[in-house]
Amino acid sequence: MTTTTTPITVLGLGQMGSAIAGTFLESGHPTTVWNRTAGKGETLGEAGASVSATAAEAVRASPLVVVCLLDYEAVDEVLAGVGDAIAGKALVNLTSGSPGRARTTERWAAEHGADYIDGGIMADPPDLGTSNAFLSYSGSREAFDAHEATLRELGNSTFYGSDAGLASVEFMAQVAIGYEMLIGFLHTLRLVQAEGADVAEFAERVAESMAGGYRPLLSAIGKAVRDGEFPPDMGPLSVQAALMDDLIDHRRSLGVDVTRMREVKKLMDERIAAGHGDEGFSSLFALLGG
């Protein structure tokens, strides 16, 4: 188990890397930082961090090396310059990317004698170090166990398994669910606004139902998809589909985009035609590929 005296190196001092380094510094870790463009470490330097001239020099300073760069192209470039200096270190890569990129970086780390932990950050930089920050981790269980207390200083931390890609699976899925739901939310706000109703008040009511009413529905849908059995959540598809033409016409009459609702109706019709009209909304999952 690490303590607040564990020295840490942070490579990358953009918005997020700076927040990470700042959090560790405030917790009392001897912190070494490096950034491609010189100057970004100045404030951290004034606060007590050691600013290195090269990434390799920064890596040599600490047993725990945290990387947070724009993307994996940047990670590959920076790690190529670090080379064997990484041997014997725990390398924690908090750069966002795909599971495949995480697994490739894990192989690079293994070839260079380092333990690899991949991570995803679900938080804005100012939330780092608070309970509003959520981080997913996967890769070397041994290294995670050794540095768990330190990593928890960044926020709520969950370890998803020894496959280095799993943290990214969680991260990508959380980002995707956000986009999928929020684009539907934006479409609906367009509809509410077009009818002259108060969008902010409507949003408040949706927020309340998300905390209450939708919660059991999300859990029920997750279970239905896992089990491959789709009970009539939100009512049977045959009943839900009967409303769809009105719903689409209403949108169209207000000039609100109907693409996603047409897609929903198409999927419902397809499931009903295949004899699944007594199943619930979760049943559409069967048509989503994979």
Residue with smaller CB distance to ligand NDP, 15 or 54: 15
53 binds ligand NDP (CB under 6 A): no
Residue with smaller CB distance to ligand NDP, 16 or 166: 16
By CB under 6 A, the residues from 4 to 23 that bind ligand NDP are 12-17
Residue whose C-alpha is closest to residue 157's, from 125, 130, 175: 130
140 binds ligand NDP (CB under 6 A): no
Number of residue whose CB is nearest ligand NDP: 14
By CB under 6 A, the residues from 81 to 120 that bind ligand NDP are 95-96
69 binds ligand NDP (CB under 6 A): yes
Exposed/middle/buried for 218, CB within 10 Å: 0-12, 13-18, 19+? exposed
74 binds ligand NDP (CB under 6 A): yes
194 binds ligand NDP (CB under 6 A): no
40 binds ligand NDP (CB under 6 A): yes
Size of the site for ligand NDP (CB under 6 A): 22
DSSP string of 258-273, one letter each residue? -HHHHHHHHHHHHHHH
21 and 48 in contact (C-beta within 8 Å)? no
Residue with smaller CB distance to ligand NDP, 75 or 268: 75
Q: Can you point out the beta strands (E) in the chain?
A: 8-11, 31-34, 50-51, 64-67, 90-93, 115-122, 134-139, 156-159
d(CA 58, CA 192): 54
d(CA 80, CA 59): 13
Residue ranges binding ligand NDP (CB under 6 A): 12-17, 35-37, 40, 68-71, 74, 77-78, 95-96, 121, 124-125
